């Protein structure tokens, strides 16, 4: 583990006072204290600013002013962060318990990206979303470890750049796929859970699925055109294989022992 490790927890909020209060309490209750808490509010009008002011003693930096969207707000937090690792815990999300960061800290060392599983809470149930231990382009082209369960070294942002503010929903995904697939960032997976994500965020709303798909396609076509050619060919072969498995003629040949099951 890094000597004198400091974690920067960045919380972005806009008109979500109740969620912000839950997040602040969760951070303040941590037994591990070698962190700074940065709160970026988008000039909320629901009492969030007053809540922030009442808790400002617990923040290393806070601001409440208009911004140009969530990634503009997150970039403000990155700019102010002094920590070795950055962690985004936006308003409404929280830690599983007071020992969460104590559990996490032993895994923060030489790797650029350290990611965990996450509790996904919604519709009266909680499920654990797991991430693969070995990341592949096939996985990353359509998914990523949740940012509420991922720690990123500050120097990686200094090397690659901040989040792309031209994207509305998938800029955190763009940053991570570029970091891992183009800049060879090192990573570590931990098969454990320390944080909760609550459904209802901008990327999880059904009406935004088309935007997510379009933004991802734009990034993939501009940054990974050759890799996408390979991936499209892979998907084509998988479709052919699925159709063959459904073929009655193939099933008969398997039963006759003329070909092996595949």
- The mean-pLDDT minimum among 2-6, 21-25, 165-169 falls in 2-6
Predicted confidence at residue 248, as pLDDT, reads: 78
Tokens of 225: 């055109």
Burial of 80 (0-12, 13-18, 19+ CB in 10 A): middle
- For residue 35, the model assigns a pLDDT of 97
> What's the rounded Cα separation, in Å, for the pair 145 and 142?
11
- For residue 77, the model assigns a pLDDT of 98
Q: 191: Cβ–Cβ under 8 A, 6 or more apart, which residues?
A: 116, 117, 130, 133
* pLDDT at residue 162 tops 90: yes
Q: Does domain 7-204 have CATH number 2.40.50.100?
A: no
The set of residues, in sequence order, having a beta carbon less than 8 Å from that of 173 and lying 6+ positions away, is 144, 216, 219
Contact 234, 138 (CB under 8 A): yes
Q: Using one digit for the tens of pLDDT, what is the confidence trace for 94-148? A: 999 999 999 999 999 899 999 999 999 987 899 999 999 999 998 998 899 999 9
Question: What pLDDT was estimated at residue 227?
Answer: 83
Type and span of the H or E element at 150? strand 150-153
Residue-wise pLDDT tens digits, 21-58: 999 999 999 999 999 999 999 999 999 999 999 999 99
Q: What is the pTM of this model?
A: 0.87
Strands 125-129 and 113-122: antiparallel
pLDDT at 182 over 90: yes
Q: What does the pLDDT read at residue 124?
A: 82
Domains of the chain, by residue range, sit at 7-204
Residue 70: predicted pLDDT: 95
User: At residue 203, does pLDDT exceed 60?
Assistant: no
Query: Which of 108, 81, 225 minimizes the C-alpha distance to 162?
Result: 81
What is d(CA 82, CA 173) in angstroms, rounded to the nearest whole number? 23
In Å, what is the CA distance from 234 to each residue of 137, 141, 170, 229, 249?
12, 13, 24, 9, 24
pLDDT digits (tens, 9 = 90+) for 55-109: 999 999 999 999 999 999 999 999 999 999 999 999 999 999 999 999 999 999 8
pLDDT at 202 over 60: no
Calculate helix-pair angle for 70-80, 171-181, nearest 10 degrees: 60
Q: Which residues contact 83 (CB under 8 A, 6 or more apart)?
A: 6, 7, 8, 35, 36, 154
């Amino acid at each position: 583990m890094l000597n004198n490790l400091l974690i920067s927890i960045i919380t972005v909020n806009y008109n979500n006072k109740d969620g912000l209060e839950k997040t602040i309490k969760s951070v303040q209750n941590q037994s591990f204290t070698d962190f700074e808490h940065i709160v970026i509010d988008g000039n909320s009008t629901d009492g969030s600013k007053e809540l922030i002011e009442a808790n400002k003693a617990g923040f290393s930096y806070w601001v409440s002013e208009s911004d140009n969207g969530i990634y503009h707000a997150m970039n403000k937090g990155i700019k102010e962060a002094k920590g070795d690792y950055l962690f985004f815990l936006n308003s409404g999300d929280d830690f599983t318990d007071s020992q969460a960061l104590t559990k996490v800290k032993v895994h923060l060392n030489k790797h650029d990206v350290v990611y965990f599983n996450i509790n996904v809470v919604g519709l009266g149930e909680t499920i654990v979303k797991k991430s693969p231990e070995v990341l592949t382009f096939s996985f990353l082209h359509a998914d990523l470890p949740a940012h509420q369960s991922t720690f990123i070294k500050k120097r990686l942002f200094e090397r690659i750049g901040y989040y792309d503010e031209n994207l509305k929903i998938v800029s955190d995904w763009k940053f991570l796929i570029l970091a891992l697939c183009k800049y060879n960032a090192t990573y570590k997976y931990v098969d454990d859970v320390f944080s909760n994500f609550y459904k209802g965020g901008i990327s999880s709303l059904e009406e935004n699925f088309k935007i997510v798909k379009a933004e991802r396609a734009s990034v993939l076509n501009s940054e990974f055109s050759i890799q996408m050619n390979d991936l499209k060919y892979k998907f084509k072969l998988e479709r052919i294989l699925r159709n063959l498995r459904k073929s009655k003629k193939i099933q008969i040949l398997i039963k006759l022992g003329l070909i092996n099951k595949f």
